[in-house]
Amino acid sequence: MKLLIAEDELSLQQSMVTYLEKDGNVCECASNYEEAIYKVSLYDYDVIILDINLITGSGLDVLKQLKKEKKKAGIIIISANNSLSDKLEGLDLGADDYITKPFHLAELNSRIKAVLRRGKFGGDESITFNEIRIDTRAKSAYIADKPMTLTRKEYDLLLFFVTNKNRVLSKEIIAEHLWGDNSDLADNFDFIYVHINNLRKKLTFEGAKYIKTAYGSGYKFTEE
């Protein structure tokens, strides 16, 4: 996949590049408005990650330019402003998703993959990992072509694991992905264990031992 990261904060930009390149993505960067406009008009990208507050201009203007040139790239807006009106404006202008700073890179990664999956980029709406196949349209998972019975949270969890395979995910990241702002409610993460253990049991039952514990309290979805 070819990605463009338009972000004026260089350390954040580089962190995103490091994380996203692990999946074999090609990441290009734009550090200001002019560079972003220049790159989007010259090249085609699969997904463009666009900060609204670019140092020399607004990311929303880059978005308008993209739509004017009828570029097919998927667009994810990053903003430090979590106001609803900004979000709606971005989505109205044709952005595919909206994410507020600070965000987890794993979360960004799964949003990028979700944008790519949506049919209009010619992507397949199913993800496969060895014998596991996830149909994101029907929101169902199959293991060796046998349908799995998963709860909604278990399905979300599996999808999150598969899109962030080979990466260590802390309980905090998982909880935030599944429950958003409410994840701070429970002081211990017992409820996460319950969901992860259930999913793990269901996978192990079919011989798919991919959910590994990392560093004692984190998780990693991997073949190794």
Partner 1 sequence: MLKQASKTFFWASLLLMVISTFALYFYVSWLLKQEVEEELFSAEARIESALMAGKHPSSLAPIIEVVEVDHPQATFTKDTVIYDPSQNEMELFRELSTYKNINSKFYKISVRVLVVESNQILWAIILSYIVIIFLVFIFQFYLNKSYNKKLWYPFFHNLEQMKTFSLLSKKPIQFLDSEILEFSELNKEITLLTVKVKDDYENLKQYTEDVSHELQTPLAIIQAKIENIINDQTVTEVQFNQLTSIQKDIQRLTQLNKRLTLLTKLENQQFTHKENIDITAIIDQIIANFSEISSIALSLQKTNNIVVSMDPYLAEILCTNIISNAIKYNTNSEPITIVANEMAITVSNFGLKPIANPQHLFTRFYRETKEIKSTGLGLAIVKKICDLYGYHVSYKHVNDHHCFSIDFVTAPASNE
Of 55, 49, 42, nearest in space to 27 by CA: 49
CB of 53 to partner 1, least distance (A): 7
| Closer residue to partner 1, CB minimum distance, 149 or 188 | 188
CB 96 within 8 A of CB 49: no
| Closer residue to partner 1, CB minimum distance, 143 or 173 | 173
Coil, strand or helix at 54 = strand
CB of 69 to partner 1, least distance (A): 29
User: Helices (H), strands (E): how many in the chain?
Assistant: 8, 14
| Closer residue to partner 1, CB minimum distance, 128 or 217 | 217
CB 70 within 8 A of CB 26: no
How far is 149 from 211, CA to CA, in rounded Å? 17
| Closer residue to partner 1, CB minimum distance, 47 or 174 | 174
Radius of gyration of the chain (CA): 18
CB of 195 to partner 1, least distance (A): 8
Could you list the residues that contact partner 1 (CB under 8 A)? 9, 11-12, 15-16, 18-19, 22, 53, 80-84, 100-106, 153, 167-168, 170-173, 176, 179, 181-187, 190-191, 195, 214-218
CB of 99 to partner 1, least distance (A): 10
